[in-house]
Structure 1
Amino acid sequence: MSAGFLFSIVIAYFLLLLFVAWRTSKNSNNDSFFIGNRSSNWMLVAFGMIGTSLSGVTFVSVPGAVGKDAFGYMQIVLGYTIGYLLIAFVLLPLYYRLKLTSIYGYLKARMGMLSYKTGAWFFIISRLVGATARLYLVVNILQFTILDSFGIPFWVSTLIILVMIILYTYEGGVKTIVWTDTLQTTCMLAGLIICSIYLLNHMDMSVGESLNAMHSEGLSRIFNTDANSAGFFVKQILAGAFITLSMTGIDQEMMQKSISVTNLKDSQKNMVSLSVIMIIVIGLFLYMGGLLYIYGINEGGVFTEVVNNGVAQKAFMLDGKDVLGDAIFPEVAVHHMPPAISVIFVIALISALFPSADGAMTALTSSFCIDIAGLKRRTDMTEEQKKKFRQRVHLMVALFFLILVMIFYWINNNSMIGIILKLAGYTYGPLLGLFAFGILTRRRPVDKLVPYVCFIAPILCFFIDKYQAAIFGNFKIGLELIIINALFTYIGLYLISKPVSKEELEQDSVH
């Protein structure tokens, strides 16, 4: 299939998004942009959050990771369920009781202004890094499948996609994203199911036969029972729970949509529904990953080892190329499937791209305007001036996206899911520690010392991670690094805090 036709599909899809944005952004204001006027339907939010939670990284990296880790990612997903339930019944009641526009307003009421600013800055850094890593992956795939044939440089491709996102989020913000995410999630899941059905039909296999084939190749194992391994199931489940608490429960992008729902009860329905749906959807992605490798084996692909910089690494060779990891799905979809399925893959891929990028840009704009610039508290600006300020910030966020995507392009890596979860351990750990300390203790830290604690904790984690073999021997630390990071933050806050009365804490909640 020609690259020109695939490119026309991308343009047509974008025009559809613009139409939805035009319909939903009428009469929008700053409250529409930040929290959707608190009028979002919980079912739409729950469904759309699937796309935001999964993104292009899940669409490509999770199936690709099956070749290396089998179905081991499901261990993390089981932990996600625990995290979603804690968000629904611990964090959401807190956010609704305080009537927050930015969830980091809790830190201001509970600990002080510097704690509040520190939490907001850690979110901004965390979301910038995570969202741009996700964006890089999908743009990179679009680049080598479509845009390279037009001679378009990677940075221009990234710029074009960012301009597209700006065009449909510029006015409506969350009010628009709730609807566009629903559309995009539908397309992404349809692509997943259609590609899986095609693979089964092409190989003339039933679901049971395909699972047996995966088992024979060692691709269907879920639980790792080696306690010393970084993939040990207890570590992975715990890590999954804390990653969800961090990357959803104390993440302004995700909570911005949840608190846009009319009331707490419906918002909790949204979160509980999401926890169940995520298990099913991730299970389908892992299953499709197994199908891709079985298909590759049937097409002459073989698992082997390659040496990079003197280190032997597992590889999967297909058509003379190593496609283990992120490359397997694009390679099979574009070069081994019929043109109609290739089109579906491209639509599903860009549907996975936009929800993670548009929501992140909107949330980062909201957090900077509300938490750092104090836009809602400004009495020296008219609503129109505030709107213009917010729009300028939105453009600056897009510029930072462009810069960071280019940095990931220069670094390059064949599995972005591992990088994103690793980075989350460093950047979200202090946020998790701050919220845990505020919720679980009756102590108040010295506000001016909080930033130091939050910056020291990730530095300590870096050295523990770097020298873990010397410290722990055969025992390996994996994604549970986020728990260690949060624990260091919690201990540091405890050391610089003093007890306060229950009445003072209740007064904090009122303010």
Structure 2
Amino acid sequence: MRFTTVDYIIFALLLILSSAIGLYYALSGGKQRTTQEFLLANRSMGFIPVSLSLLATFQSAVAILGVPSEIYRFGTEYWFLGCSYILGLLIPAYIFIPVFYRLRLTSTYEYLELRFSKIVRICGTVTFIFQMVIYMGVVLYAPALAFNAVTGFSLWGVVLTMGLVCTLYTTLGGLKAVIWTDVIQTLVMFAGQLAVIIVGTAKVGGIQDVWSIALENNKISGINFNPDPFVRHSIWSLGIGGIFLMLSLYGVNQAQVQRYLSSRTEKEAILSCYAVFPCQQLVLGLGCLTGLVMFAYYQKNEIQNPEMIAVPDQMVLYFVMDILQDFPGLPGLFVACLFSGALSTISSAFNSLATVTMEDLIKPYYPGLTESRATLLSKGLALTYGLLCLGMAYISSLMGSVLQAALSIFGIVGGPLLGIFCLGFFFPFTNSIGAVTGLLAGLVMAFWIGISSFVDRMAAGASSSPVLNVTSAPDVGNLTTTVLTTLLTSTMAPKGPTGMKRFHALSYMWYSAHNSTTVVIVGIIVSLLTGPMKGRDVDPRTVYLVLPKLLFFLPERYKEKLRFGVPHVAEDNPNLIVEEKSCNGFLNGNVKGSEKDDMEESAIGFSRTDGGHSYVVQETSL
């Protein structure tokens, strides 16, 4: 099973087109001469390309290979993850996106400094960089390894080609190039998956045969209402645990937030989040259908080389090469689809890492940096992270089984990061000490569970030699959660685990929820013990007071207490505080005449409405 000339041409066209888009944006428009253009596309993008880019960022190669493999072996229960998409996308659209967009951020972690302090911002940034650097090598090496196994391509030739092409168009074209290549790559992904489904279904005998074979072999799963958190998949772990996974991806992850911030308006940013919902459902459905078609095909046809699919991630590529060998060009289309997923994820990683490094770790300490030098440095950072990605891919190749432990550890970083943002958004009395302590507690808990779970499974494998199952990635693919779902799980779990070992068996779908909850609980307790933050010291633009909204039926005086003293924000312009802080307390209403002039002279940081009557006064010098 080898590529034909037509397959090589189709695959090469994808790489050439991606590079051409980067070159185009390097030579047109503003020519990537400012950091705003390079990192945020001059905040000029429409919601359609942004939404497709949001989808492509986490529809990685691991997902394209993993979801069908999951369905092939365990049935369609995984499909219920789609239930989590509703709240997992509505909450970012209503809460996270408006706050981030109105604050005019570049890095998500700027929010942590506005809400807490600089040390919290740095902790968040360093955690994110650690997460992404590990992931970059993995997402590049894993599909290249599977591709090499079934097509005979040179492994390191594929790794170098992908890494260099991706680095080229990201460094030259900035975020605009990343978003528009994501659009092209998304379309290629859909085309590749559809080609496999159509041809595979025809070879099985039709969609009815696919369904009946799956039904006869118990691959069509019912709803599992078992509330046990140690059960691998249930409606609760997929539906509720999945919400936390989605929030860590589409709510607070830098790669996604950066796309929201590149939108022309706040409305377009929110629309892009809405538009992702049907796309995600479609992608999940295509992945599940591919798995069912693959299962039905091999029920009717013998697997010629069983050793080729010993590793689950190779199953899909083997199936593709098997059924499409009589259709020159279609194998190349699917491989282009596979590597589109990898390219879109890696390019997003390069760009987001360059952004947080520049905005959080360089600019604050070099305020005199000129715009031209900052832009050049941003491009240098993107290039550096691209080369680092190749190095991480090499390290991944040396890790062997330890790679799975690295994947597990990386995947659970998203939960603590979500937790620290939830502390800032929903609990206005929490302080920076509570935030840092909560983040550290969440990371410790996450690493403890992940490593212990891995060690326990390795011990079980050594004693009973069970068949290992690499859990597939969710269709949202990666940065935080792709790896979460590639955790090693055994089809023969240790019998009757007790004590702490029982806790190690927690379903991977609960990891993000568990770790983010740990951050919130520890952060609240430590904040209360060390002196809660006073409402008047909190920038009201950085919090979302959920309790007054949920308990809307309470009398006004009780709802006011639930604000914890946070000043009100004007309904028509959320950037403006309507209760200004002065030396005499709060002044309700508009400020006019000489009072306005006096306050203007004494205020530190304020803004006015278009009419010039209302002021935002954060502090005064009186």
TM-score range, shorter chain: 0.7 to 0.9
CA separation of 1:464 and 1:61: change in aligned 2, threshold 3 A: closer
The answer as to 2:119 corresponding to 1:114 is yes
| Superposed counterparts of 1:385-464, under 5 Å | 385-412=373-400, 422-423=408-409, 425-447=411-433, 450-464=435-449
Match of 1:225 in 2: 225
Q: Distance in 1 between matches of 2:390 and 2:198?
A: 36
Partner amino acid, structure 2, of 1:212: S
Match of 1:50 in 2: 55
CA separation of 1:264 and 1:424: change in aligned 2, threshold 3 A: farther
Match of 2:506 in 1: 477
* 1:34 shift after superposition: 1.1
State the Cα deviation string for residues 186-216 of structure 1 (Å, max 9, x = none): 01101111110001112221x2331121121
**Structure 2 gap ranges (5+):** 457-496, 543-574, 576-604, 606-622
Match of 1:216 in 2: 216
Given candidates 277, 280, 299, the residue that maps to 1:278 is 280
Of residues 154-163 and 32-41 in structure 1, the stretch that sits farther from structure 2 once superposed is 154-163
Match of 1:183 in 2: 184
Given candidates 487, 499, 518, the residue that maps to 1:488 is 518
| Superposed counterparts of 1:15-30, under 5 Å | 15-25=16-26, 26=28, 27-28=31-32, 29-30=34-35
Q: Distance in 2 between matches of 1:271 and 1:64?
A: 28
**Percentage of matched positions with identical amino acids:** 20
Match of 2:478 in 1: none
* 1:185 shift after superposition: 0.3
Q: Distance in 1 between matches of 2:541 and 2:60?
A: 37
Partner amino acid, structure 2, of 1:189: F
Match of 2:248 in 1: 246
Q: Distance in 1 between matches of 2:373 and 2:538?
A: 36
* 1:293 shift after superposition: 1.7
Q: Distance in 1 between matches of 2:4 and 2:309?
A: 27
State the Cα deviation string for residues 273-296 of structure 1 (Å, max 9, x = none): 212221122111111111012112
Q: Distance in 2 between matches of 1:36 and 1:288?
A: 36
Partner amino acid, structure 1, of 2:322: H
* 1:452 shift after superposition: 4.7
Q: Distance in 2 between matches of 1:177 and 1:486?
A: 30
State the Cα deviation string for residues 377-410 of structure 1 (Å, max 9, x = none): 7443222221222222222212332232233333
The answer as to 2:316 corresponding to 1:329 is yes
Q: Distance in 2 between matches of 1:455 and 1:125?
A: 14
Aligned residue for 2:498, secondary structure, equals helix
Match of 2:130 in 1: 125
Q: Distance in 2 between matches of 1:256 and 1:16?
A: 24
State the Cα deviation string for residues 117-170 of structure 1 (Å, max 9, x = none): 111112222223334332222222332344x45xx4x44532332111111111
**Structure 1 gap ranges (5+):** 302-316
Aligned residue for 2:412, secondary structure, equals helix
Partner amino acid, structure 1, of 2:524: Y
Q: Distance in 2 between matches of 1:357 and 1:482?
A: 22
Match of 1:266 in 2: 268
Aligned residue for 2:277, secondary structure, equals helix
Match of 1:307 in 2: none
Partner amino acid, structure 2, of 1:349: L
Q: Distance in 2 between matches of 1:491 and 1:404?
A: 35
Q: Is the 8 A contact 1:425 1:485 kept in 2?
A: no
Q: Is the 8 A contact 2:189 2:340 kept in 1?
A: yes
Q: Distance in 2 between matches of 1:411 and 1:84?
A: 36
| Superposed counterparts of 1:19-418, under 5 Å | 19-25=20-26, 26=28, 27-28=31-32, 29-146=34-151, 148-149=152-153, 152=154, 154-205=155-206, 207-221=207-221, 223-228=223-228, 229-301=231-303, 318-319=305-306, 321-323=308-310, 325-337=312-324, 338=326, 339-374=328-363, 378-412=366-400
Aligned residue for 1:331, secondary structure, equals helix
Q: Distance in 1 between matches of 2:240 and 2:409?
A: 17
Partner amino acid, structure 2, of 1:350: F
Q: Is the 8 A contact 1:21 1:169 kept in 2?
A: yes
Q: Is the 8 A contact 1:63 1:286 kept in 2?
A: yes
Q: Distance in 1 between matches of 2:161 and 2:307?
A: 32
Partner amino acid, structure 1, of 2:513: I
State the Cα deviation string for residues 214-263 of structure 1 (Å, max 9, x = none): 12122221533333312122022222111111122111111111211111
State the Cα deviation string for residues 403-459 of structure 1 (Å, max 9, x = none): 32233333457998x985x44552112211111111111224244x75454233222
Aligned residue for 2:276, secondary structure, equals helix
* 1:347 shift after superposition: 1.8
| Bigger fraction of residues in helix | 1
Q: Could you say which structure has the larger radius of gyration?
A: 2
* 1:91 shift after superposition: 0.2
Q: Distance in 1 between matches of 2:179 and 2:354?
A: 16
Q: Is the 8 A contact 2:75 2:218 kept in 1?
A: yes
- Aligned length, in residue pairs: 487
Aligned residue for 2:313, secondary structure, equals coil
Q: Distance in 2 between matches of 1:451 and 1:403?
A: 31
CA separation of 1:500 and 1:463: change in aligned 2, threshold 3 A: closer
What TM-score, normalized by structure 1, do the two folds share?
A: 0.88
Q: Is the 8 A contact 1:325 1:414 kept in 2?
A: no
Aligned residue for 2:36, secondary structure, equals helix
Aligned residue for 1:374, secondary structure, equals helix
Partner amino acid, structure 2, of 1:203: V
Match of 1:502 in 2: 535
Q: Distance in 2 between matches of 1:330 and 1:503?
A: 58
Aligned residue for 2:242, secondary structure, equals helix
In angstroms, what is the RMSD of aligned CA positions?
2.7
Match of 1:314 in 2: none
Aligned residue for 1:384, secondary structure, equals helix
Partner amino acid, structure 1, of 2:506: I
